[in-house]
């Protein structure tokens, strides 16, 4: 199971020693996963040092900002993660929809940097990744590869992004600035959001070189665990704050587009705490879970035509299909002067609420629409909240606006088009392409993963089948404190290498 990131002992002591020396030379300390789940526990000396660090610079101290508790400047801690509560005026449903902002994370302005750190650090502390010789390969359809490149750069190792050539130009612009050697370290594969197999094929080719270590987010259980622990607890903190302010409130559902199925692990945590239903969103243009379907779409960051190995399918309650036409069109409405004027003028929405919509990228809009469909499907009332995440903000999709106007809006955009967009794609969302999963449905979706993981990727049938049982997922969680202890030990070794005592942390 080493390739799945489940080691809890040092497997290569020589690589481990080289990592200690390199981290010591670079004066790098690693945050524990528990510190990222609860940043109040980060040492005061680190917090003080962070005050002078730009959240967008490749400074190792920014590792201690890889959490949900940064303010809008991403420089300061907040007690409650930044979020917005969308009400019936915008959504058309009585159920409050709580949206937690992912663009507060450092370096990439998206929460996937948390997944990247969560996947790399267990490999570091077990000696499976040699910082002096290995290249970290980050396959992605969205922000994970940017997060991986960012983490690699601040640690001083080589990071390689593998992503489809059809992703937003903003992603490639960022990679050009951050990759050590963009000509070699930014690998564009065929297609767009739905072409995940092509990414796997390229990674299989790269994996032939033993110096390439593939951090496949779709099968790295650390991705699941870091979101269970860090994202799940952040959602809990936000919900408790909203409930305290509003009175009696239930947390009825957690919504996440599956993507790599990392973020949706927060739903497992929330179900443990509140019996919250877990909702998986996908594009209706490529309805893998809903209809065993296929296709192509532009909801960037939720790659499909497969079932991720780390998706706890048997714990999922609802699948909601959202059209990329809706996400593209609402991106135009939310992020143009004409659209904002329409929302504040003709719809009389508060300007402060409308300004918050800039925190929603394409997959964020998808999550919100899936939350609306969920509220309607489950007939939720005013005291039954749905919580979801805005994975990144609109700044990653500015170049998509003109594309959407040309593709979906006939090449023109004015107030009459605004009204049509708002009504069709927001307040008149239906429950079409929404499924409350039966046990048969869960097993059907689970079985779909066989063709990717057993037939194509070489996972054993035993490893595949064991994931049906909830005991398997619960038994993963004790890895978190084990890895935390190993991070602490690595930090102590690093400080000792520098001639410092652990008290200097």
**pLDDT digit string, tens, across residues 466-505:** 999 999 999 999 999 999 999 999 999 999 999 887 655 5
Q: Give the C-alpha separation, 67 to 409, whole Å.
A: 38
**319, containing H or E segment:** strand 318-322
User: Torsion over CA of 147, 449, 439 and 292, rounded to 10 degrees?
Assistant: 100
Most distant CA pair in the chain, distance: 68
pLDDT, tens digit, 9 for 90 and up, residues 327-338: 999 999 999 999
pLDDT, tens digit, 9 for 90 and up, residues 4-26: 678 999 999 999 999 999 999 99
Checking if the pLDDT of 142 tops 80, the result is no
**Confidence (pLDDT) at 5:** 74
**Confidence (pLDDT) at 295:** 85
Checking if the pLDDT of 247 tops 90, the result is no
Q: Which long-range contacts (CB under 8 A, 24 or more apart) does 408-412 make?
A: 408/325, 408/328, 408/329, 409/329, 409/332
Q: How confident is the model at residue 147 (pLDDT cuts 50, 70, 90)?
A: very high
Checking if the pLDDT of 340 tops 60, the result is yes
**Confidence (pLDDT) at 4:** 67
**Confidence (pLDDT) at 3:** 59
**Confidence (pLDDT) at 415:** 84
Checking if the pLDDT of 412 tops 60, the result is yes
What is the pLDDT averaged over residues 108-133?
95
Q: How confident is the model at residue 97 (pLDDT cuts 50, 70, 90)?
A: very high
**Confidence (pLDDT) at 389:** 98
Phi-psi region of 269 (alpha: psi -120 to 50; beta: other; left: phi over 0): alpha
How high is the mean pLDDT of the chain?
A: 93
What is the pLDDT averaged over residues 226-239?
98
What is the pLDDT averaged over residues 265-274?
98
Q: Give the C-alpha separation, 371 to 390, whole Å.
A: 12
**Confidence (pLDDT) at 184:** 93
**Confidence (pLDDT) at 307:** 94
What is the pLDDT averaged over residues 235-240?
98
**Confidence (pLDDT) at 238:** 98
The pLDDT > 90 percentage for the chain reads 82
**Confidence (pLDDT) at 502:** 64
Q: Give the C-alpha separation, 179 to 153, whole Å.
A: 8
Q: How confident is the model at residue 222 (pLDDT cuts 50, 70, 90)?
A: very high
| 159, 149 contact by CB (below 8 A) | yes
Tell me which of 200 and 81 has the higher pLDDT.
Answer: 81
What is the pLDDT averaged over residues 341-348?
96
Task: Please tell me whether the overall predicted TM-score, pTM, comes out greater than 0.85 for this model.
Answer: yes
Phi-psi region of 349 (alpha: psi -120 to 50; beta: other; left: phi over 0): beta
Tell me which range, 191-200, 304-313, 403-412, 442-451, is most confidently predicted by mean pLDDT.
442-451
Tell me which residue of 374, 359, 360, 273 sits closest to 321, measured CA to CA: 374
Q: In sequence order, what are the residues at sequence separation of 6 or more whose Cβ sits closer than 8 angstroms to the Cβ of residue 96?
A: 85, 86, 87, 242, 246, 249, 382, 385, 386
What is the pLDDT averaged over residues 83-98?
96
| Cα–Cα distances in angstroms (integers) from residue 61 to residues 28, 68, 78, 148, 275, in the given order | 8, 16, 18, 16, 37
Checking if the pLDDT of 339 tops 60, the result is yes
pLDDT, tens digit, 9 for 90 and up, residues 356-379: 999 999 999 999 999 999 999 999
What is the pLDDT averaged over residues 306-312?
94
**Confidence (pLDDT) at 303:** 60
**Confidence (pLDDT) at 2:** 53
Q: How confident is the model at residue 35 (pLDDT cuts 50, 70, 90)?
A: very high
């Amino acid at each position: 199971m080493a390739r799945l990131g489940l080691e809890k002992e040092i497997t290569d002591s020589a690589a481990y020693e080289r990592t200690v020396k390199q981290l010591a030379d670079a004066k790098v300390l690693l945050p524990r996963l528990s510190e990222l789940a609860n940043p109040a526990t980060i040492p005061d000396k680190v917090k003080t040092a962070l005050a002078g660090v730009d959240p967008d610079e490749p400074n190792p101290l920014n590792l201690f900002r890889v959490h949900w508790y940064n303010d809008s400047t991403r420089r300061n801690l907040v007690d409650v993660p930044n979020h917005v509560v969308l009400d019936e005026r915008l959504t058309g449903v009585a159920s409050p929809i709580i949206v937690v902002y992912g663009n507060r994370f450092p370096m990439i302005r998206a929460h996937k940097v948390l997944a990247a750190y969560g996947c790399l650090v267990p490999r570091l502390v077990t000696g499976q990744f040699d910082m002096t010789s290995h290249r970290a390969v980050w396959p992605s359809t969205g922000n994970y590869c940017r997060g991986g490149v960012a983490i690699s750069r601040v640690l001083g190792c080589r990071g390689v992004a593998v992503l489809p050539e059809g992703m937003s130009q903003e992603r490639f612009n960022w990679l050009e600035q951050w990759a050590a050697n963009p000509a070699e370290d930014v690998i564009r594969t065929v297609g767009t959001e739905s072409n995940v197999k092509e990414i796997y094929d390229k990674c299989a080719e790269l994996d032939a070189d033993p110096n390439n270590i593939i951090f496949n987010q779709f099968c790295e259980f650390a991705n699941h665990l870091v979101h269970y622990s860090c994202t799940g607890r952040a959602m809990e903190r936000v919900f408790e704050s909203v409930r305290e302010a509003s009175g009696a409130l239930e947390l009825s559902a957690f919504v996440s587009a599956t993507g790599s199925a990392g973020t949706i692990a927060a739903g497992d945590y929330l179900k443990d705490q509140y019996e919250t239903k877990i909702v998986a969103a996908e594009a209706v243009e490529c309805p893998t879970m809903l209809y065993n379907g296929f296709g192509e779409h532009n909801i960037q960051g939720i790659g499909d035509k497969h079932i991720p190995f780390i998706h706890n399918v048997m714990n999922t309650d609802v699948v909601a299909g959202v059209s990329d036409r809706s996400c593209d069109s609402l991106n135009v409405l939310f992020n143009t002067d004409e659209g904002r004027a329409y929302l504040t003028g003709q719809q009389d929405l508060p300007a402060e609420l409308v300004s918050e919509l800039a925190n929603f990228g394409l997959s964020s809009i998808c999550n919100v629409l899936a939350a609306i469909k969920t509220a309607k499907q489950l007939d939720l009332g005013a005291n039954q909240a749905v919580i979801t995440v805005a994975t990144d903000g609109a700044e990653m999709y500015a170049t998509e606006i003109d594309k959407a106007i040309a593709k979906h809006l006939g090449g023109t955009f004015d107030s009459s088009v605004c009204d049509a967009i708002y009504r069709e794609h927001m307040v008149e969302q239906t429950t079409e392409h929404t499924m409350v999963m039966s046990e048969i449905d869960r097993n059907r979706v689970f079985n779909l993963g066989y063709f990717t993981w057993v037939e194509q990727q070489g996972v054993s049938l035993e490893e595949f089948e064991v994931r049906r049982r909830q005991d398997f997922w619960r038994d993963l969680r004790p890895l978190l404190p084990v890895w935390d202890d190993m991070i602490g030990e690595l930090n102590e070794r690093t400080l000792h290498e520098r001639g410092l005592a652990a008290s200097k942390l």
